[in-house]
Amino acid sequence: MTKQPKQSYEILISRLDLLEFIDKFASFFAREKDKDSHAILMLPGDRQFFSTLLQELDSVELKPLPKLAELDTPLIHLQKQGTLSLNEIFSFSQLVGYFIYLKKHIADSTPRTQAWCDKILIPEVIAKLPTFFTQKGEIEKGIYPHIDELYSQIKQTKIRIDESLQKLLHTQALLPYLVDKSVHYINQNECLLLKAGYNHSIKGMVLERSQSGFFYLLPDSILTLKERQNALKDSLEESLYAICKELSSTLAKHLPFLKFLNHCFDIFDSILARLSFAKALNLSFIYTLDSKNHIILHEFSHPALHSPKPLSIDFSGDCLMITGVNAGGKTMLLKSILSACFLSKFLIPLKINPHRSKIPHFKHINAILSDPQNSKNDISTFAGRMLEFSQILNTPNLLLGIDEIELGTDADEAASLFKVLLEHLLENKAKILLTTHHKHLAALMANNPQIQLCAAMYDIHTQKPLFEFLNGSIGKSYAFETAQRYHIPSTLIAKAKSVYGADKQRLNELIERSSTLEITLEQKNKQLEQRINEYDKKLLCLKEQEERQKVEFQTLKHNLQNQYHKATQTLKDALKAKESKEIHKAFNIAHTILTPTQTPPKAHTKAQNLQVNDYVKYQNTRGKILNIKGTTCLVELESGMKLKEKIHNLKKIMQNQTQHTPTLKTPTIRIEQSKSVGVSLDLHGMRGEEAIEKLDEFLSNALVAGYDEVLVYHGIGTGILSRLVKEYLQQHPKSYLLMMLQQIWVALAQKS
């Protein structure tokens, strides 16, 4: 990544009001950066590599990195064969220990991170280093027995010192000389504060006198124990130094690896700091920078604003000229666009909708925002501006922001000068944002196709800025309205308007009217887009419904085809059988298959409460329930007939409702059924008229008997009898069933 001077980053961060935001981001690093903006921002590697690792680790839970100081100085000491302190060796132990943990916990779901971790090959000797230390940085017990023994003796000596002091504090002979019963520390020695005359009660060494004239006494009994304690501590220091020397020698042999691992720590620290910062503040990353020179911000909020109104803007031109009302957010718009590009360049999360935003890469980002006037250096406002312009005129791949471009000089002269300067920068492929109140400059640049106009809007009714921006328009400054809002007398404003001139006032009115029309048009466009979206949703629903119906139709068609196939297959199988019982059984099965199954409708909640003697309505007749068994009722109709019917087919009615309908007795028709009716008829040897007469009588008796299928045998011969039977069946009222079976009959007749 291209480096810029550190000073330029610090100045830019300050001018864009990002100081507090960057300081908060820096607090998430494990290794303190001392507010060095360059170290905080810079990515120690390729941006695409960091982007990939950030996306992979976004959903991975890892323990935080240990808080480590810079290890550059210890590494230099190792390079010079020096001996590190125990704390410095412990820092290397923490460094190695974390990467051992990381290599174990990175899974296959993060392939790029896993590949990066696999490149870190920790030597076996270095991998044992974390086992030497506790979490507090002390030597682990059991590794060096003589160290453990020294710690134990020092601890026992300390206990004996405390016990001796407590015994002295409760000695009756010493009580009159004690100022207090506290243990005082003078140069790390435990002392008693005594009054004069103590000599007869205790012997010791006076280390110091208090301001009140009392004596800090180190008793002889404690002095002996302190000497032993100090001797033990000296032995411990010597032993620890020997261990540090041994471990430093081991570390020095793997110096290149430790330098590499220290660099890897900085890389991973940069990644985890960004992830933790984003999760803590609910921020988003712009992972990929757009290749086109096109800035789109959607729902972006500048971090310096406490209750921001999210900003959405499409900056497709090469120069965005922002005009409009004072205090309407022009400068904040400029800072927002520059801030979004600056933070995204260094993969710092921000409050934005990343899915609908596009930000290109800029090698250099510069902002000319503040007043550069400096009386000590004899630089005026305009001279300072010209100095800053001279330093960037030929800068490649530049994103430049200029606030109040006309600041510090004559407006008409500035318009001509800045027109030329802007055109020069545009020729060098710079992307520019500027705010101005110069209508002259806006008019000069408006015809340039590279210029994109943007106006800060003003609500005339409330006389307040809207903090919204309208593309393609030149905004009015509303200087008179702003002055009136800040309590400038209306008489003075009226005089100012008369001085301003009628022509210029009419021009402002035209600009204002144009802005109002554009706002109205934009509102209508939004309404139209909303209605289009609604119609699109409805169209999508209709298409989904159409697809569902197609699927249902295909399913139904497939089921019907399967039923037909099963029925015909059953009948074909029956052709192979010669017994009439098997054939009759096959007819029944085929009929069952072809009969559509209808799911009975769910019973109404009211029908569930039917009881015996309730009056009900069934179809167009009424009746009374005589008996209920399960879901079936025995009902006596008004005609006197009795029938069994499902509960869900009955509707309960009041008893008086039945009285309005006159009782009509339907005459009972009884049909005498012949007991000799069979299921087959043989027409062999009969003439045509005789056969048709027999067939008609046979079918009538079979229908009255309730047969579903019958068998008719006729001869083959010349086919006359077969043709007469077929014609008769076609004209019969039940022909839809009889014709379905006629082919089977013909086949059976041929077999017989």
Q: Are strands 632-637 and 189-194 parallel, antiparallel or unpaired?
A: unpaired
Is 358 annotated as belonging to a binding site? Answer: no
Is 520 annotated as belonging to a binding site? Answer: no
Q: Are strands 215-219 and 204-209 parallel, antiparallel or unpaired?
A: antiparallel
Is 329 annotated as belonging to a binding site? Answer: yes
Is 327 annotated as belonging to a binding site? Answer: yes
Is 324 annotated as belonging to a binding site? Answer: yes
Report which DSSP code applies to 236: H
Cβ proximity of 616 and 624 under 8 Å:
yes
Cβ proximity of 75 and 69 under 8 Å:
no
Longest dimension (CA), the chain: 161
Report which DSSP code applies to 697: H
Q: How many angstroms separate the CA atoms of 510 and 530, rounded?
A: 30
Radius of gyration of the chain (CA): 50
Q: How many angstroms separate the CA atoms of 34 and 26, rounded?
A: 9
Q: How many angstroms separate the CA atoms of 405 and 373, rounded?
A: 15
Which 3-state string (H, E, C) describes 31-58? CCCCCCHHHHHCCCCCHHHHHHHHHHHC
Helices 72-79 and 86-105: angle between axes, nearest 10 degrees: 110
Instruction: Give the tokens for residue 586.
Output: 């096959």
Q: How many angstroms separate the CA atoms of 391 and 549, rounded?
A: 70
Cβ proximity of 473 and 510 under 8 Å:
no
Residue 671 exposed, middle or buried by CB count within 10 Å (0-12, 13-18, 19+):
exposed
The half-sphere exposure of 457 on its side-chain side, counting CA atoms within 13 A, is 19
Collapsed DSSP state (helix, strand, coil) of residue 735 = helix
Distances (CA, A) of 751 to 575, 577, 683, 716: 9, 11, 15, 10
Collapsed DSSP state (helix, strand, coil) of residue 297 = strand
Closest CA to 409 of 455, 371, 447: 371
E-assigned strands of 110-196?
184-186, 189-194
Q: Which residues contact 688 (CB under 8 A, 6 or more apart)?
A: 720, 721, 724
Is 472 annotated as belonging to a binding site? Answer: no
Q: Which residues contact 188 (CB under 8 A, 6 or more apart)?
A: none
Rounded to the nearest angstrom, the gap between the alpha carbon of residue 513 and the centroid of all alpha carbons in its chain is 43
Geometric angle at alpha carbon 647, from 642 and 652, rounded to 5° = 85
Which segments are annotated as binding site?
324-331
Which segments are annotated as binding site for ATP?
324-331
